[in-house]
Copies of this chain bind each other. A is one copy, B any other.
Amino acid sequence: MRRPILSKFSPPQLIALTFALTILLGGALLASPATHQAGHSLSPVQALFMATSALCVTGLSVVDVGSTFNLFGQLVVLALVQIGGLGIITFGTLFAFLLGRRINFSERIRLAQQVSAFEVGGVVRLIRQIFAFTLIAELIGAAVLALRFVPLEGWGRGLYFAVFHAVSAYNNAGFSLYPDGLMRFARDPLISLAISVLVILGGMGFIVQINVLSHWRNPRRDRMLVHSKIVLSVMAALLVIGTLLFMLFEWQNPRTLGPLPFGDKLLASFFQGMTPRTAGFNTVDYAAVTQPTIFITIILMFIGANPGSTGGGIKTSTFFVMMMAAISLVRGRGDLVAFGRRVARETVVRAMTVGLLSMGLVNTGVLLMLIANHDNALSFERLFFETVSAFGTVGLSMNATFSLNPSQELILLVLMYLGRIGPLTFAVAFGSSNKNEVVRYAPERDILIG
């Protein structure tokens, strides 16, 4: 009896393969002159890099999107972003919710009751729900952004810019049609805040979104999940810490916040505190920030956003469990308790493993980038920053991406892919010697990790 070819692959293998094939297809399109503006061209590696950066919603660009690609090319980039974003949310949610591999039984039952408030019955309906949710968020975002882009760029171009940036923001892609990103909007609260809301919403993850929505509709019946409480708290804490530290380190920097008036300093700091949640947009020049800002941004980019969202990094929940476990052990407590729930030892080991694998991956990436850095063309910290940005699918850069050599482009391309698929998912997909044992842990897990 022959089984269909797809059933030979496990779900993580399917994701990894689907992503790889889509990147090859997108790369072929972006290498073709049909997607280029007159007088512009890309090397095959550059085309593959841009396809990877778009599908993995990273936003790093070896060429300027606005001036290199024609409208068709830009739409290819946008389509890859949308496919990548939806794919990640859908796979992430399905894994957690339906396959039951990452969330424990009682939480799943409670969540199912909440989702049913939205009349979700099966996989197809759940996917339709995710698509609708994404589309509505992007449409509202585009409408708000159009209030600024239409007066600036005219009706046709303005609406197009509004849609492009809304999709890019909600999917945490960070691509912009302006050559200097969003720097011209550093003092514009409408653009800054609308983009921030889209990014934060997209980085929340579908399960948290739906949990928050149903809780808001009916606080008594639909309670907040432990998972939601944890990731929302960590997200809020990182946002506040990121904003305050950016303010602290850049307040008097003449090349960033220095010349801005008080209110604009706050606005720009908030934007830069939000963007390492792997949005990748910038309203200040990261090549001009101070050394402490570089380092803090690297750490925030490494941590990233919520699991099952369009954001990258090791994820807020992974970071939370790692930190809490370390504190628990130091205090001599056997069990890790968060928001009144005991966190399973398996979850702790899994979080720490995700953290370690990610550090190993980033360190390997940095080492390779330094080896490929002929004649020390780029400084240590710029390559370090760029590598973590690629791994976390953030897209921030200290203006180094245009200066990468082909070997470095290839290294970052692979890192974006691995950072997106998730070191653990990827390793489990291709390295698992005994799948049953992995699944065996399922009932104990109650926080989504990685």
Contacts and interface: CB of A to CB of B under 8 A. Distances in A.
B371 A292 contact: yes
Interface stretch (A138-146, A177-185, A270-278, A349-357): A349-357
B363 A432 contact: no
B292 A333 contact: no
Contacts of A366: 295
Contact of A353 (B329, B363, B379): B329
Contacts of A295: 363, 366-367, 370, 380
Interface string A403-427: 0000000000000000000001001
Interface string A427-442: 1100111110110110
A427 B330 contact: yes
A334 B437 contact: yes
A431 B326 CA distance: 12
A57 B384 CA distance: 30
A93 B331 CA distance: 23
A350 B331 contact: no
B434 A370 contact: no
B370 A331 contact: no
B370 A292 contact: yes
Interface string A355-376: 1110110010011001101001
A152 to B, nearest CB: 37
Given A334-B437, A427-B330, A325 B345 contact: no
B299 A330 contact: no
A434 B334 CA distance: 10
Given A379-B380, A380-B380, A440-B334, A349 B345 contact: yes
A359 B326 CA distance: 11
A333 B370 contact: no
Interface string A291-316: 11011100100000000000000000
B291 A330 contact: no
Given A299-B363, A437-B333, A325 B348 contact: no
Interface in A241-255: 249
Contacts of A437: 332-334
A119 interface: no
Q: How many copies does the complex hold?
A: 2
A153 interface: no
Contacts of A435: 332
A60 interface: no
A355 B349 CA distance: 13
B330 A431 contact: yes
A89 to B, nearest CB: 25
A326 B367 contact: no
Contact of A326 (B294, B299, B345, B357): B357
Q: Which 3 A-B pairs have the closest CB atoms?
A: A380-B381, A332-B438, A291-B370
Given A379-B379, A379-B381, A380-B384, 19 more contacts: A249-B371, A291-B371, A292-B367, A292-B370, A292-B371, A295-B366, A295-B370, A325-B349, A326-B360, A329-B349, A330-B431, A331-B433, A332-B434, A332-B438, A333-B437, A345-B345, A349-B349, A355-B356, A380-B380
23 contacts: A290-B370, A291-B371, A291-B383, A292-B371, A294-B370, A295-B366, A299-B363, A322-B352, A322-B356, A325-B352, A326-B356, A326-B357, A329-B424, A330-B353, A330-B357, A330-B424, A330-B428, A330-B432, A332-B433, A333-B434, A334-B437, A349-B352, A380-B381
